[in-house]
Amino acid sequence: MKGNILIVDDEFGVRESFRMILKDEYNLFIHSEPGEALRTIKKNRIDVALLDIRMPKMNGIELLGEIKKIDHDIQAVIITGYATLDTAVKAMRFGAFDYLTKPFDRNKLEELVKEGIKRRRRRDREKKELKRLEIIKKDVNERLEKIYSSTVESLMVALEAKDSYTSSHSEGVAEYAILILDGLNLNLSSEFGEIFRYVCTLHDIGKIGVSEQILRKKGKLNKREWEEIKKHPEIGVSILQPIEFLEKFIPMVLYHHEHFDGGGYPEGKKGEDIPLWARVLAVADSYHAMRSDRPYRLAMSEEDALEELKAGAGTQFDPEVVKVAVRVLKKKKRTS
């Protein structure tokens, strides 16, 4: 394939000699004016540009800057009548790979154009290779993510064996949390909703790192046991962190036991410093727990559980989230 060469020089004689020397081997785009040259570059793929440094309106260095904005990989040679070190350095700094002095030597010109084409081809190959590597990387990441997600799901199964309550509870929490989220009318995408639900089902996964005796204990927990339970949000984060698509949702897991008044754990975050998704999850989590039979107490009635949510508004829970939760949960009761 013939290379495409752009020649920009305001001197007719120079343009014509370039044409004579290069026309048989290359496709030439010859202009006397930088503006026309830029239009040509926008419409055609140019491999090598030979740019006169001294032109009215826009000099060769400025033109090179504009050319690079359109196609950074065009290989440029600056043509100069007075090759000082300064102009050469300037040309290189602006991205030319070499320069040619006038009056020019035919062999030198041919050599430079050949070199430019070689560089451009090499750049094309590099870009192609980079693209290929990116595709491979994406593919590997997706596969790793799938493997990791299934590992997390296996961990959930393992947690179920350890603590059957947590697993069934998590599904229920997700249902309530989605109801509340919908009630907030935030116009979220369905993809967001799906990941949100997924994270709700996993929010207690960190309990896999808490001893079975503590998880299954029927009586009241002592201080040491309680301290161990309190580690589960952080353990959950360390389990879920490697899954890239969950990144934005990790704070939900970390802060689902924070209280609106700052009295929760692990950090004692307060009010709106607790991410909204974690505030929603906290209400759904507590409501589902109240509505479930536990070894140490029976499930609360819907009315009592809703009253309990209202009582915790402003202390344990975000009052706005409670307001929405009470509305949507009452409605659910009427429709179910």
The footprint of Fe ion (CB under 5 A) covers: 204
- Closer residue to Fe ion (CB): 204 or 318: 204
Rounded to the nearest whole angstrom, what is the least distance from the CB of residue 203 to Fe ion in the complex?
Answer: 6
Tell which residue, 187, 191, 233, has the closest CA to residue 210. Answer: 233
Of 168 and 301, the one with the shorter C-beta distance to Fe ion is 168
Question: Closest approach of Cβ 95 to Fe ion, in Å?
Answer: 56
Rounded Cα–Cα distance for residues 30 and 25 (Å):
15
Total Cβ atoms within 10 A of residue 283: 27
Backbone phi, psi, residue 309, to 5°: -60, -45
Task: Give the span between the Cα atoms of 96 and 64, in whole angstroms.
Answer: 8
Q: What are the tokens at 251?
A: 């704070």
Using alpha carbons only, give the angle 251, 198, 145 rounded to the nearest 5 degrees: 85
Distance in Å, CB of 281 to Fe ion, minimum: 9
| Least distance between Fe ion and beta carbon 254 (Å) | 11
What's the closest the beta carbon of residue 71 comes to Fe ion, in angstroms?
55
C-beta closer to Fe ion: residue 28 or 229? 229
Q: Which is nearer to Fe ion, 234 or 307 (CB)?
A: 234
The residue among 204 and 258 lying less far from Fe ion, judged by its C-beta, is: 204
- DSSP labels for 90-132? HHHHTTEEEEEESSPPHHHHHHHHHHHHHHHHHHHHHHHHHHH
CA angle 103, 106, 107 (to 5 degrees): 130
Separation of alpha carbons 314 and 263, rounded Å:
11
Residue facing Fe ion at closest CB distance = 204
- CB of 173 vs Fe ion, minimal distance in Å: 9
Residue number with CB closer to Fe ion (230 or 332): 230
Residue in this structure with the two tokens 């924070």, named with its chain if needed = 258
Tokens 């035919």 -> residue = 106
